[in-house]
Amino acid sequence: MIARYAGGAVAAAPLLLFAFSDSAPPGLTGAPGDSGTCTQCHGGAVNSGGGALAIEAADYLPGQSQTVRVRISDPNQMRWGFSLSARRKSDPMRQAGSFTAGRFTVVETISGIQYASHFPAQQTARGAGFVYELTWTAPDDSSGVVFYASGNAANGNGATSGDNIYAAVKEVAALAPSSRPSVSTGGVVSALAFGGRRSFSSGSWIEIFGANFSQPAAVLINNREAFLGVVTPGQINAQVPEDASSGPVQVVVRSGDRSSEAVTVFKETESPGLLAPAIAPFRVGNRQYLAAVYPPGTEGCPAGQVCFAGNFAGVASRMARPGDRLIVYGIGFGAVAVDGAAPSRYVGVAPGVLNRLVKPVVFRFGQVEARLEYAGLAPQAIGLYQFNLIVPRIPEGAVQLNVTLDGSPIGQTLFLDIAN
Ligand code: HEC
Protein backbone atom coordinates (compact mmCIF):
# COMPACT_ATOMS: atom_id res chain seq x y z
CA MET A 1 0.00 0.00 0.00
CA ILE A 2 1.09 3.55 -0.65
CA ALA A 3 1.54 5.44 2.55
CA ARG A 4 -0.78 8.44 2.61
CA TYR A 5 -0.91 11.34 4.98
CA ALA A 6 -4.30 12.76 5.81
CA GLY A 7 -4.68 16.51 5.54
CA GLY A 8 -2.01 19.14 5.00
CA ALA A 9 -0.23 19.42 8.35
CA VAL A 10 2.08 16.64 7.38
CA ALA A 11 5.22 17.23 9.32
CA ALA A 12 3.29 17.30 12.54
CA ALA A 13 1.48 13.99 12.01
CA PRO A 14 3.13 11.43 14.33
CA LEU A 15 1.27 8.41 12.93
CA LEU A 16 3.61 5.51 12.21
CA LEU A 17 1.02 3.11 10.82
CA PHE A 18 3.11 2.68 7.66
CA ALA A 19 6.79 2.70 6.81
CA PHE A 20 8.27 6.11 5.98
CA SER A 21 10.72 4.27 3.81
CA ASP A 22 7.84 3.31 1.47
CA SER A 23 7.49 6.93 0.40
CA ALA A 24 8.41 10.29 1.90
CA PRO A 25 5.81 12.50 3.53
CA PRO A 26 4.67 15.24 1.11
CA GLY A 27 5.21 18.94 1.73
CA LEU A 28 8.95 18.68 2.46
CA THR A 29 10.69 19.65 -0.78
CA GLY A 30 11.87 23.03 0.48
CA ALA A 31 9.50 24.83 -1.90
CA PRO A 32 7.53 27.94 -0.84
CA GLY A 33 4.62 26.75 1.34
CA ASP A 34 6.35 23.48 2.28
CA SER A 35 7.37 22.68 5.86
CA GLY A 36 11.09 22.70 5.13
CA THR A 37 12.78 19.44 4.15
CA CYS A 38 13.30 15.90 5.44
CA THR A 39 15.47 17.32 8.24
CA GLN A 40 12.20 17.64 10.15
CA CYS A 41 12.90 14.06 11.24
CA HIS A 42 16.19 12.97 9.62
CA GLY A 43 19.85 13.91 9.79
CA GLY A 44 21.56 17.19 10.58
CA ALA A 45 21.75 20.31 8.46
CA VAL A 46 20.73 20.14 4.80
CA ASN A 47 23.57 19.43 2.34
CA SER A 48 26.09 18.89 5.14
CA GLY A 49 26.99 15.26 4.28
CA GLY A 50 29.59 14.34 1.67
CA GLY A 51 27.05 13.74 -1.10
CA ALA A 52 24.61 15.66 -3.24
CA LEU A 53 21.16 15.76 -4.76
CA ALA A 54 20.65 16.88 -8.36
CA ILE A 55 17.45 17.53 -10.27
CA GLU A 56 17.86 16.78 -13.99
CA ALA A 57 15.25 18.51 -16.11
CA ALA A 58 15.53 20.24 -19.48
CA ASP A 59 14.03 23.44 -20.80
CA TYR A 60 10.57 22.55 -22.02
CA LEU A 61 8.16 22.95 -24.88
CA PRO A 62 4.78 23.97 -23.43
CA GLY A 63 2.57 20.91 -23.09
CA GLN A 64 5.29 18.40 -23.93
CA SER A 65 6.50 15.58 -21.70
CA GLN A 66 10.02 14.81 -20.63
CA THR A 67 11.81 12.55 -18.19
CA VAL A 68 12.85 14.31 -15.00
CA ARG A 69 15.47 12.64 -12.80
CA VAL A 70 16.45 13.02 -9.16
CA ARG A 71 20.00 11.83 -8.59
CA ILE A 72 21.06 11.22 -4.99
CA SER A 73 24.62 10.32 -4.11
CA ASP A 74 26.65 9.96 -0.95
CA PRO A 75 29.87 7.94 -0.63
CA ASN A 76 28.92 6.56 2.79
CA GLN A 77 25.22 5.75 2.39
CA MET A 78 23.17 2.93 0.88
CA ARG A 79 19.44 3.67 0.98
CA TRP A 80 17.91 6.47 -1.03
CA GLY A 81 14.72 8.53 -0.85
CA PHE A 82 13.45 11.83 -2.21
CA SER A 83 10.50 14.17 -2.60
CA LEU A 84 10.08 16.46 -5.64
CA SER A 85 7.63 19.18 -6.64
CA ALA A 86 7.36 21.51 -9.67
CA ARG A 87 6.13 25.08 -9.23
CA ARG A 88 5.29 27.93 -11.51
CA LYS A 89 8.07 30.47 -11.53
CA SER A 90 5.46 33.24 -11.59
CA ASP A 91 3.59 31.73 -8.60
CA PRO A 92 5.66 29.16 -6.65
CA MET A 93 2.67 28.23 -4.47
CA ARG A 94 1.11 26.65 -7.54
CA GLN A 95 1.84 23.40 -9.28
CA ALA A 96 3.56 23.56 -12.70
CA GLY A 97 2.69 20.84 -15.18
CA SER A 98 2.07 17.32 -13.93
CA PHE A 99 4.04 14.27 -12.85
CA THR A 100 3.40 10.67 -13.83
CA ALA A 101 5.00 8.12 -11.54
CA GLY A 102 7.63 5.81 -13.03
CA ARG A 103 9.48 2.80 -11.70
CA PHE A 104 10.08 3.03 -7.91
CA THR A 105 8.22 6.34 -7.66
CA VAL A 106 4.81 7.48 -6.51
CA VAL A 107 2.92 10.76 -6.88
CA GLU A 108 0.65 12.16 -4.20
CA THR A 109 -1.39 15.34 -4.45
CA ILE A 110 -1.86 17.49 -1.36
CA SER A 111 -3.75 20.80 -1.55
CA GLY A 112 -3.48 20.85 -5.33
CA ILE A 113 0.26 20.24 -5.37
CA GLN A 114 1.84 17.03 -6.57
CA TYR A 115 4.70 15.49 -4.62
CA ALA A 116 6.70 12.75 -6.28
CA SER A 117 8.59 10.38 -4.01
CA HIS A 118 10.51 7.10 -3.87
CA PHE A 119 8.34 3.98 -3.72
CA PRO A 120 9.82 2.17 -1.97
CA ALA A 121 13.23 3.53 -0.91
CA GLN A 122 15.89 1.75 -3.00
CA GLN A 123 18.81 0.06 -1.34
CA THR A 124 22.20 -0.33 -3.08
CA ALA A 125 25.82 -1.11 -2.33
CA ARG A 126 27.38 1.53 -0.10
CA GLY A 127 28.13 4.74 -2.03
CA ALA A 128 26.40 3.66 -5.27
CA GLY A 129 23.74 6.38 -5.18
CA PHE A 130 20.45 6.14 -7.05
CA VAL A 131 18.58 7.96 -9.81
CA TYR A 132 14.78 8.11 -9.65
CA GLU A 133 12.90 8.87 -12.87
CA LEU A 134 9.48 10.38 -13.53
CA THR A 135 7.62 11.68 -16.51
CA TRP A 136 6.75 15.34 -16.25
CA THR A 137 4.38 17.08 -18.64
CA ALA A 138 5.15 20.77 -18.96
CA PRO A 139 2.45 23.42 -18.42
CA ASP A 140 0.85 25.06 -21.45
CA ASP A 141 2.26 28.48 -20.65
CA SER A 142 5.86 29.56 -21.05
CA SER A 143 6.42 31.48 -17.81
CA GLY A 144 9.09 29.10 -16.49
CA VAL A 145 9.17 26.36 -13.88
CA VAL A 146 11.14 25.76 -10.69
CA PHE A 147 11.66 22.22 -9.35
CA TYR A 148 12.29 21.73 -5.64
CA ALA A 149 13.54 18.47 -4.18
CA SER A 150 14.91 17.14 -0.97
CA GLY A 151 16.38 13.69 -0.55
CA ASN A 152 17.61 11.30 2.04
CA ALA A 153 20.89 9.46 1.61
CA ALA A 154 20.20 6.97 4.38
CA ASN A 155 22.31 4.38 6.13
CA GLY A 156 19.62 1.72 5.83
CA ASN A 157 19.12 1.16 9.54
CA GLY A 158 15.35 1.54 9.15
CA ALA A 159 15.35 4.59 11.43
CA THR A 160 15.87 8.32 11.11
CA SER A 161 19.33 8.29 12.64
CA GLY A 162 22.60 8.45 10.74
CA ASP A 163 21.01 9.78 7.51
CA ASN A 164 22.18 12.71 5.35
CA ILE A 165 19.60 15.07 3.89
CA TYR A 166 20.20 17.01 0.69
CA ALA A 167 18.11 19.57 -1.17
CA ALA A 168 18.27 21.27 -4.56
CA VAL A 169 16.39 23.74 -6.73
CA LYS A 170 16.33 23.60 -10.54
CA GLU A 171 14.83 26.22 -12.80
CA VAL A 172 13.83 25.47 -16.39
CA ALA A 173 12.61 27.85 -19.09
CA ALA A 174 10.16 27.39 -21.91
CA LEU A 175 11.62 26.86 -25.37
CA ALA A 176 10.27 28.82 -28.30
CA PRO A 177 7.97 26.41 -30.10
CA SER A 178 9.58 25.18 -33.29
CA SER A 179 8.19 26.92 -36.29
CA ARG A 180 6.06 25.20 -38.82
CA PRO A 181 7.79 24.08 -42.01
CA SER A 182 7.04 26.25 -45.02
CA VAL A 183 7.65 25.84 -48.74
CA SER A 184 8.82 28.93 -50.65
CA THR A 185 6.71 30.31 -53.47
CA GLY A 186 7.86 28.48 -56.60
CA GLY A 187 10.03 26.38 -54.27
CA VAL A 188 9.27 22.99 -55.80
CA VAL A 189 11.37 22.27 -58.89
CA SER A 190 12.75 19.20 -60.61
CA ALA A 191 16.41 18.64 -59.68
CA LEU A 192 18.26 21.83 -60.60
CA ALA A 193 21.27 20.06 -62.11
CA PHE A 194 18.83 18.43 -64.55
CA GLY A 195 17.15 21.59 -65.76
CA GLY A 196 15.00 22.61 -62.77
CA ARG A 197 11.60 22.39 -64.44
CA ARG A 198 8.54 23.74 -62.69
CA SER A 199 6.82 20.38 -63.16
CA PHE A 200 7.68 16.79 -62.32
CA SER A 201 6.55 13.22 -62.78
CA SER A 202 6.46 9.99 -60.75
CA GLY A 203 9.95 8.65 -60.19
CA SER A 204 11.70 11.97 -60.93
CA TRP A 205 13.76 13.88 -58.39
CA ILE A 206 12.57 17.21 -57.08
CA GLU A 207 14.12 19.84 -54.85
CA ILE A 208 11.90 21.56 -52.33
CA PHE A 209 13.08 24.90 -50.99
CA GLY A 210 11.67 26.49 -47.85
CA ALA A 211 12.29 26.85 -44.14
CA ASN A 212 12.08 24.89 -40.89
CA PHE A 213 12.57 21.49 -42.49
CA SER A 214 13.82 19.02 -39.89
CA GLN A 215 13.90 15.30 -39.20
CA PRO A 216 11.80 13.27 -38.97
CA ALA A 217 10.77 14.75 -42.29
CA ALA A 218 8.19 13.52 -44.77
CA VAL A 219 7.05 14.85 -48.13
CA LEU A 220 3.53 14.09 -49.28
CA ILE A 221 2.74 14.48 -52.97
CA ASN A 222 -0.93 14.01 -53.72
CA ASN A 223 -1.13 12.38 -50.25
CA ARG A 224 1.51 9.79 -51.06
CA GLU A 225 4.82 9.71 -49.28
CA ALA A 226 7.91 10.50 -51.34
CA PHE A 227 11.28 8.79 -51.02
CA LEU A 228 13.68 11.31 -49.47
CA GLY A 229 17.28 12.12 -50.28
CA VAL A 230 19.00 15.00 -48.55
CA VAL A 231 17.10 16.89 -45.82
CA THR A 232 18.51 20.23 -44.65
CA PRO A 233 16.66 23.05 -42.86
CA GLY A 234 16.16 24.87 -46.17
CA GLN A 235 16.03 22.08 -48.76
CA ILE A 236 14.68 18.58 -49.21
CA ASN A 237 15.47 16.36 -52.19
CA ALA A 238 12.69 13.88 -52.84
CA GLN A 239 11.79 11.27 -55.41
CA VAL A 240 8.19 11.64 -56.54
CA PRO A 241 6.06 8.64 -55.51
CA GLU A 242 4.37 6.29 -57.93
CA ASP A 243 0.91 7.71 -58.68
CA ALA A 244 -1.03 7.68 -61.94
CA SER A 245 -2.56 11.13 -61.44
CA SER A 246 -1.38 14.11 -63.44
CA GLY A 247 -2.26 17.80 -63.45
CA PRO A 248 -2.19 20.03 -60.36
CA VAL A 249 -1.23 18.09 -57.20
CA GLN A 250 -0.52 19.20 -53.66
CA VAL A 251 2.87 18.99 -52.00
CA VAL A 252 3.12 19.08 -48.20
CA VAL A 253 6.30 18.93 -46.11
CA ARG A 254 6.12 17.47 -42.62
CA SER A 255 8.70 17.96 -39.90
CA GLY A 256 7.81 15.87 -36.89
CA ASP A 257 4.16 16.57 -36.14
CA ARG A 258 4.11 19.91 -37.99
CA SER A 259 3.01 20.28 -41.60
CA SER A 260 3.55 23.04 -44.13
CA GLU A 261 0.72 24.59 -46.05
CA ALA A 262 0.04 22.63 -49.20
CA VAL A 263 1.53 24.07 -52.38
CA THR A 264 0.13 23.17 -55.76
CA VAL A 265 2.54 21.89 -58.39
CA PHE A 266 1.97 20.53 -61.86
CA LYS A 267 2.50 16.82 -62.34
CA GLU A 268 3.10 15.26 -65.75
CA THR A 269 3.40 11.71 -67.03
CA GLU A 270 7.07 12.32 -67.85
CA SER A 271 9.26 15.30 -67.06
CA PRO A 272 12.60 14.55 -68.71
CA GLY A 273 15.78 16.44 -67.89
CA LEU A 274 19.43 15.73 -68.68
CA LEU A 275 22.38 16.42 -66.41
CA ALA A 276 23.52 19.93 -67.31
CA PRO A 277 24.20 22.03 -64.19
CA ALA A 278 23.53 25.72 -64.80
CA ILE A 279 26.84 26.68 -63.17
CA ALA A 280 30.46 26.99 -64.28
CA PRO A 281 32.03 25.27 -66.09
CA PHE A 282 28.90 23.85 -67.75
CA ARG A 283 27.22 27.22 -68.13
CA VAL A 284 29.13 29.80 -70.15
CA GLY A 285 27.22 33.04 -70.64
CA ASN A 286 23.87 32.00 -72.08
CA ARG A 287 25.19 28.73 -73.41
CA GLN A 288 24.31 25.59 -71.45
CA TYR A 289 26.53 22.57 -72.05
CA LEU A 290 25.48 18.98 -71.51
CA ALA A 291 27.48 17.28 -68.72
CA ALA A 292 28.18 14.04 -70.60
CA VAL A 293 30.95 11.77 -69.31
CA TYR A 294 33.20 9.17 -70.90
CA PRO A 295 33.12 5.54 -69.79
CA PRO A 296 36.04 4.69 -67.47
CA GLY A 297 39.26 3.96 -69.32
CA THR A 298 38.52 6.21 -72.30
CA GLU A 299 41.69 7.18 -74.15
CA GLY A 300 42.78 10.76 -73.47
CA CYS A 301 41.10 10.92 -70.04
CA PRO A 302 43.02 10.82 -66.73
CA ALA A 303 42.64 7.43 -65.06
CA GLY A 304 40.29 7.18 -62.10
CA GLN A 305 38.58 10.54 -62.63
CA VAL A 306 35.16 11.48 -63.89
CA CYS A 307 35.99 12.84 -67.33
CA PHE A 308 33.56 15.14 -69.17
CA ALA A 309 33.03 15.49 -72.91
CA GLY A 310 34.00 19.04 -73.85
CA ASN A 311 36.57 21.64 -72.91
CA PHE A 312 35.76 22.46 -69.28
CA ALA A 313 37.98 24.31 -66.83
CA GLY A 314 38.47 22.81 -63.36
CA VAL A 315 37.26 19.28 -64.15
CA ALA A 316 38.80 16.42 -66.11
CA SER A 317 37.56 16.74 -69.69
CA ARG A 318 38.45 16.32 -73.32
CA MET A 319 36.72 17.30 -76.55
CA ALA A 320 34.26 14.77 -77.98
CA ARG A 321 35.05 13.23 -81.35
CA PRO A 322 32.83 11.27 -83.75
CA GLY A 323 32.85 7.63 -82.70
CA ASP A 324 33.36 8.40 -78.96
CA ARG A 325 31.14 6.59 -76.50
CA LEU A 326 29.41 8.99 -74.08
CA ILE A 327 27.28 8.50 -70.98
CA VAL A 328 24.48 11.00 -70.42
CA TYR A 329 22.44 11.07 -67.19
CA GLY A 330 18.81 12.12 -66.78
CA ILE A 331 15.74 12.16 -64.57
CA GLY A 332 12.01 11.95 -65.27
CA PHE A 333 12.06 9.75 -68.38
CA GLY A 334 9.30 7.46 -67.09
CA ALA A 335 8.86 3.72 -66.76
CA VAL A 336 11.44 1.12 -67.69
CA ALA A 337 10.92 -2.54 -68.51
CA VAL A 338 12.85 -5.59 -67.44
CA ASP A 339 12.20 -8.79 -69.39
CA GLY A 340 9.32 -10.67 -67.85
CA ALA A 341 8.30 -7.89 -65.42
CA ALA A 342 5.70 -5.13 -65.58
CA PRO A 343 7.07 -1.65 -66.43
CA SER A 344 8.11 0.28 -63.32
CA ARG A 345 9.66 3.56 -62.26
CA TYR A 346 11.53 1.98 -59.35
CA VAL A 347 10.68 4.63 -56.75
CA GLY A 348 12.93 4.38 -53.69
CA VAL A 349 14.97 1.46 -55.00
CA ALA A 350 17.73 0.86 -57.50
CA PRO A 351 16.61 -1.52 -60.27
CA GLY A 352 19.68 -3.69 -59.73
CA VAL A 353 19.52 -5.01 -63.31
CA LEU A 354 19.82 -3.63 -66.81
CA ASN A 355 16.47 -2.40 -68.13
CA ARG A 356 15.13 -0.38 -71.00
CA LEU A 357 13.06 2.76 -71.27
CA VAL A 358 9.49 2.03 -72.34
CA LYS A 359 9.07 5.25 -74.37
CA PRO A 360 11.56 5.89 -77.19
CA VAL A 361 14.31 8.46 -76.70
CA VAL A 362 16.19 9.93 -79.67
CA PHE A 363 19.42 11.95 -79.38
CA ARG A 364 20.28 14.10 -82.40
CA PHE A 365 23.52 16.07 -82.75
CA GLY A 366 22.12 18.87 -84.84
CA GLN A 367 20.07 16.81 -87.30
CA VAL A 368 22.20 13.65 -87.09
CA GLU A 369 20.86 10.87 -84.92
CA ALA A 370 23.25 9.20 -82.48
CA ARG A 371 23.28 5.45 -81.98
CA LEU A 372 21.99 4.59 -78.47
CA GLU A 373 23.56 1.54 -76.85
CA TYR A 374 21.62 1.83 -73.57
CA ALA A 375 18.54 3.81 -72.53
CA GLY A 376 17.15 2.96 -69.08
CA LEU A 377 17.65 3.48 -65.38
CA ALA A 378 21.24 3.22 -64.14
CA PRO A 379 21.10 -0.21 -62.47
CA GLN A 380 22.72 0.82 -59.17
CA ALA A 381 21.20 4.29 -58.70
CA ILE A 382 17.77 5.45 -57.57
CA GLY A 383 15.75 7.40 -60.11
CA LEU A 384 18.75 8.13 -62.35
CA TYR A 385 18.45 7.39 -66.08
CA GLN A 386 21.51 6.55 -68.13
CA PHE A 387 22.00 6.85 -71.90
CA ASN A 388 25.04 5.33 -73.57
CA LEU A 389 25.49 6.79 -77.03
CA ILE A 390 28.03 7.11 -79.81
CA VAL A 391 28.92 10.54 -81.16
CA PRO A 392 27.82 10.58 -84.82
CA ARG A 393 29.92 11.79 -87.75
CA ILE A 394 29.38 15.59 -87.69
CA PRO A 395 31.55 18.65 -88.36
CA GLU A 396 33.58 20.12 -85.48
CA GLY A 397 32.37 23.02 -83.38
CA ALA A 398 29.62 23.52 -80.82
CA VAL A 399 26.62 21.42 -81.76
CA GLN A 400 23.13 21.75 -80.35
CA LEU A 401 21.56 18.55 -79.10
CA ASN A 402 17.98 17.79 -80.04
CA VAL A 403 16.58 15.18 -77.69
CA THR A 404 13.05 13.83 -77.84
CA LEU A 405 11.09 11.53 -75.56
CA ASP A 406 8.24 9.77 -77.35
CA GLY A 407 8.59 12.31 -80.15
CA SER A 408 8.43 15.45 -77.95
CA PRO A 409 11.47 17.69 -77.36
CA ILE A 410 12.63 17.49 -73.74
CA GLY A 411 12.71 21.27 -73.46
CA GLN A 412 16.39 21.90 -72.58
CA THR A 413 18.63 23.74 -75.03
CA LEU A 414 21.98 21.96 -74.67
CA PHE A 415 25.31 22.14 -76.48
CA LEU A 416 28.32 19.88 -76.83
CA ASP A 417 31.74 20.83 -78.24
CA ILE A 418 32.93 18.51 -81.00
CA ALA A 419 36.51 18.20 -82.29
CA ASN A 420 37.62 16.15 -85.24
C1 HEC B 1 7.69 12.92 10.23
C2 HEC B 1 9.02 12.43 10.27
C3 HEC B 1 9.68 12.09 8.99
C4 HEC B 1 9.90 12.93 7.93
C5 HEC B 1 9.54 14.40 7.80
C6 HEC B 1 10.62 12.17 6.95
N7 HEC B 1 10.82 10.90 7.39
FE8 HEC B 1 11.83 9.43 6.46
N9 HEC B 1 11.58 8.21 8.01
C10 HEC B 1 10.90 8.51 9.13
C11 HEC B 1 10.94 7.38 10.04
C12 HEC B 1 10.32 7.33 11.40
C13 HEC B 1 11.68 6.38 9.39
C14 HEC B 1 12.05 5.01 9.88
C15 HEC B 1 10.87 4.06 9.85
C16 HEC B 1 10.40 3.77 8.48
O17 HEC B 1 11.19 3.38 7.61
O18 HEC B 1 9.21 3.97 8.27
C19 HEC B 1 12.06 6.95 8.11
C20 HEC B 1 12.84 6.28 7.19
C21 HEC B 1 13.16 6.79 5.95
C22 HEC B 1 14.03 6.11 5.05
C23 HEC B 1 14.76 4.81 5.30
C24 HEC B 1 15.97 5.16 6.21
C25 HEC B 1 16.93 4.06 6.51
O26 HEC B 1 18.04 4.39 6.95
O27 HEC B 1 16.58 2.90 6.28
C28 HEC B 1 14.14 6.91 3.95
C29 HEC B 1 14.96 6.66 2.68
C30 HEC B 1 13.35 8.09 4.21
N31 HEC B 1 12.78 7.97 5.45
C32 HEC B 1 13.25 9.14 3.35
C33 HEC B 1 12.66 10.35 3.68
C34 HEC B 1 12.71 11.50 2.84
C35 HEC B 1 13.29 11.56 1.44
C36 HEC B 1 12.10 12.49 3.52
C37 HEC B 1 11.88 13.91 3.07
C38 HEC B 1 11.30 14.13 1.75
C39 HEC B 1 11.69 11.95 4.77
N40 HEC B 1 12.05 10.65 4.86
C41 HEC B 1 11.04 12.68 5.73
C42 HEC B 1 10.28 9.69 9.44
C43 HEC B 1 10.27 10.82 8.62
164: CATH: 2.60.40.680
Are 288 and 309 members of one domain? yes
Report how far ligand 1's centroid is from the alpha carbon of 162 (Å): 11
Question: Which atom of ligand 1 approaches the CA of 83 most closely?
Answer: 38
Q: Which atom of ligand 1 is nearest to the CA of 121?
A: 29
- Over its C-alpha atoms, the chain yields an Rg (Å, rounded) of 35
Tell me the CATH number at 212: 2.60.40.10
Distance 170 CA to ligand 1 centre (A): 23
| Buried/exposed code over 272-304 (b: 16+ C-beta within 10 A; e: otherwise) | bbbbbbeeebbeeeeebbbbbbbeeebeebeee
* 154 and 285 fall within a common domain: no
Asked whether the beta carbons of 384 and 360 are under 8 A apart, the reply is: no
Is 211 in the same domain as 81? Answer: no
Q: How much distance in Å is there from the Cα of 376 to the middle of ligand 1?
A: 76
Residue nearest to atom 37 of ligand 1 (CA): 38
Question: pLDDT-derived band of residue 258, with 50, 70 and 90 as boundaries?
Answer: confident
For residue 45, report the distance from its CA to the centre of ligand 1, in Å: 15
Query: For residues 373 and 388, is the Cβ–Cβ distance under 8 A?
Result: yes
Residues 408 and 309 sit within 8 Å (Cβ to Cβ)? no
Q: Which atom of ligand 1 is nearest to the CA of 14?
A: 1
Q: CA dihedral in degrees (294, 297, 299, 305; nearest 10)?
A: 70
Evaluate whether residue 17 is within a structural domain.
no
Q: Check whether 261 has a pLDDT greater than 60.
A: yes
Q: Measured in angstroms, how far is the CA atom of residue 160 from the centroid of ligand 1? A: 6
Residue-wise pLDDT for 83-120, tens only, equals: 999 999 999 999 999 999 999 999 999 999 999 999 99
Atom of ligand 1 nearest to the CA of 150: 38
Q: How confident is the model at residue 2 (pLDDT cuts 50, 70, 90)?
A: very low
Tell me, yes or no, whether 167 and 197 share the same domain.
no
* Least-confidence region, from 160-174, 335-349, 386-400: 335-349
- pLDDT value at residue 178: 67
Are residues 297 and 166 both part of a single domain?
no
In this predicted model, what pLDDT tens digit does every residue of 159-193 receive, in sequence order? Answer: 999 999 999 999 999 987 767 899 999 999 999 99
Report whether 179 contacts 211 (CB < 8 A).
Answer: yes
Q: Judge whether 82 lies within some domain.
A: yes
Which structural domain, as residue segments, surrounds residue 70? 38-172
**Residues 409 and 389 placed together within one structural domain of the fold:** yes
CA separation for the pair 363, 366 (Å, rounded): 9
Encode burial over 318-342: b for 16+ CB neighbours within 10 A, e otherwise: bebebebebbbbbbbbbbbebeeee
Query: What's the structural domain count of the chain?
Result: 3
Q: Which of 64, 69, 149, 67 is nearest to 114 (CA)?
A: 149
Q: Which residues line ligand 1 (CB under 6 A)?
A: 11, 19-21, 24-25, 28, 38, 40-42, 79, 81-83, 121, 150-152, 154-160, 163
* Contacts of residue 307, Cβ cutoff 8 Å, sequence gap at least 6: 293, 294, 298, 301, 316, 317, 318
Domain assignment of residue 23, yes or no: no
Q: Residues 286, 160: one domain?
A: no
Q: Which of 85, 108, 160, 164 has most ligand 1 atoms within 8 Å of its beta carbon, as the pocket-test mutant? A: 160
338 falls within a domain: yes
Q: How far apart are CA 48 and CA 220, in angstroms?
A: 59
Could you read off the pLDDT of 129-149 as tens digits, one per residue? Answer: 999 999 999 999 889 999 999
pLDDT, mean of residues 66-80: 97
Binned at pLDDT 50, 70 and 90, residue 12 comes out as very low
Whether 303 and 284 map to the same domain: the answer is yes
Residues 214 and 323 in one domain: no
Quick one: CA dihedral 201, 202, 207, 213, positive or negative? positive
For residue 4, being part of any structural domain is answered with no
Decide which of 268, 284, 309 is a domain's last residue. Answer: 268
Residue where a domain terminates, one of 209, 241, 268: 268
Based on the fold, state whether residues 135 and 162 are members of the same structural domain. yes
Going by alpha carbons, the residue nearest to atom 43 of ligand 1 is 41
C-alpha 30 – ligand 1 centre gap (Å): 16
Q: Is residue 14 part of a domain?
A: no
- Of 176, 158, 167, 206, the closest CA to residue 49 belongs to 167
For the CA of 20, the nearest atom of ligand 1: 18
The single-letter code of the amino acid at 174 is A
* Contact (Cβ atoms closer than 8 angstroms) between residue 289 and residue 417: yes
User: Atom 30 in ligand 1: which residue has the minimum CA distance?
Assistant: 21
Q: Report d(CA 141, CA 379) in Å as an integer.
A: 54
Ligand 1 nearest-atom number relative to CA 28:
38
Flag whether pLDDT at 7 surpasses 60.
no
Amino acid at 140: D
Q: Is residue 7 part of a domain?
A: no
Residue 403 lies in a domain: yes
228/300 same-domain check:
no
For residues 342-365, average pLDDT? 96
- Same-domain status, 129 and 189: no
Residue nearest to atom 10 of ligand 1 (CA): 20
